[in-house]
Amino acid sequence: MVNDTRWLNEVTWDDQGLIPVIAQDAATGDVLMFAWMNREALSRTVESGEAVYWSRSRRKIWHKGEESGHVQKVIEIRLDCDGDVILLKVEQQGGIACHTGRRSCFFTRLHDGSQWQVQEPVLKDPKDIYK
């Protein structure tokens, strides 16, 4: 394991010390979810090989799948050209990334420019996922 963390200084953190993160299925390219990371979350993601995020609502580190078992195994980490967005290419364990029990958090589509329509089914009832 490399202890040199200077690479973290090349990330453009916002004024709250966060960076937006997109989680993408490494095999299909589908966008699974959007979240935030702080320095600790990004460091822990690199160290563990599993996605670790910062929950703005709970104001704490959040290891994806810690309750649900739907861990994201990180295949690759990319930083955009401005250094202010991270793309995680992941293997989504259990096939469910969204807390609603769906494969992706982006399950709603704007139809005819006038109404939102759900496009993906619930794969598992959240009551059965979160105890």
The CATH number for 30's domain is 3.10.20.810
* 129 occurs within a structural domain: no
Q: Which two tokens stand for residue 123?
A: 């794969």
Residue 48 reports pLDDT greater than 70: yes
Contacts for 114 with CB less than 8 Å, ≥ 6 apart: none
Digit-coded pLDDT (tens) for 97-124? 999 999 999 999 999 999 999 999 999 9
* 125 occurs within a structural domain: no
Q: Domain total for the chain?
A: 1
* Separation between Cα atoms, residue 6 and residue 113, nearest integer Å: 46
